[in-house]
Amino acid sequence: MLVDTVELELKAGNGGDGVVSWRREKGEEKGGPDGGDGGKGGDIAFISSNNTDTLADFRYRKQFKAEDGQKGARKKRKGHDGAVLELIVPTGTVVTDTIFNHQLADFTKTDMRIVLALGGIGGKGNVHFVSATHQNPFEFTSGIPGQKLQVRLELRLVADVAIVGEPNAGKSSLLKALCGVSGRIGAYKFSTVEPVLGVATINGQKVTLVDLPGLIKDAHLGKGLGTEFLRHSSRVRLIVHVIDASLESPKLSEKVILDEIKSYDVKLLDLPRIVILNKMDLLNEEQVTALNKDFPDSILISAEQNTGISELKEAIVEALDKG
């Protein structure tokens, strides 16, 4: 199951307290202050990785706390710093502060490392408070609490091309045809309810595609699967719009998808779009002629029979190169 959004509570480690201590040496009954400082609390850092493609690891564990710094010790010894807590997230993850609705991080590349919650600074021991007029200080400071955050993690798949359309338009068949037997499909199982990633090699160029679940009319109102998965199209450079050419009104099908995309994010309509009329093997010559008239810039294909796929591949590479 694709888990692409979770909410977490992060708590960085507290700084350790400074201490009050006095130097004790042989022949010296009462020495000066030598209380050490507390250690720094552990940070919480996120690291992006291509070795994971879901937020499922955070599905059941919602709270993460880094280690506290240790308190200081005699002989001016500083307490140990708390260990940094590192959390691995998929490349493409966006982290947002849910209280202030402010984006904290966007992991657009792999191996990015961003500290999101800072550990507290350690307190000062009494050695810092000695002066010419204050030889025996009992003052010390406590460690500062670590930063606490409530965050939302959203996975936005990193792909070059998003394949959109109504259910049963043939998007999954098209993805298989584009990727071919040498292509890589994963890491999601084929399903109508989850995005599916594929990598195709076209003219020596690797192209990543994401097949998004089918949209229906009023999806933005929560009907069907809704439009939330359209977040995965926010990073793409090209939209491939698949229309079932055997429908009674392909134009209406096109309008439904464009209206739903507009309702979700009108900026997506500014992306280059290739219109694909699929299932041409079910049409007669007269129907093909009519479709060419209604969709003059479209590409007619049959994903099942692998017809028109080469032309589509060329169009995809050309559009990406222009972008």
Per-residue pLDDT of the chain (323 residues; tens, 9 = 90+): 578 899 999 999 999 999 999 988 776 666 889 999 999 999 999 999 999 888 999 999 999 999 999 999 999 999 999 999 999 999 999 999 999 999 999 999 999 999 999 999 999 999 999 999 999 999 999 999 999 999 999 999 889 999 999 988 999 899 999 987 444 444 343 344 678 888 999 988 999 999 988 888 888 787 777 777 888 888 899 999 999 999 999 999 999 999 999 999 999 999 999 999 999 999 999 999 999 999 999 999 999 999 999 999 999 999 999 86
Model confidence, pTM: 0.80
Q: Please state the residue numbers annotated as binding site for GTP.
A: 211-214, 278-281, 302-304
Q: How many residues does the chain have?
A: 323
Q: Please state the residue numbers annotated as binding site.
A: 172, 192, 211-214, 278-281, 302-304
**How many whole angstroms separate alpha carbon 218 and alpha carbon 256?**
8
- The residues near 17 (Cβ < 8 Å, ≥ 6 apart) are 38, 71, 72, 122, 123, 140, 141, 142, 143
Q: Please state the residue numbers annotated as binding site for Mg(2+).
A: 172, 192
Domains of the chain: 1-155 (2.70.210.12), 161-322 (3.40.50.300)
pLDDT of residue 214: 84
The single-letter DSSP state of residue 192 is S
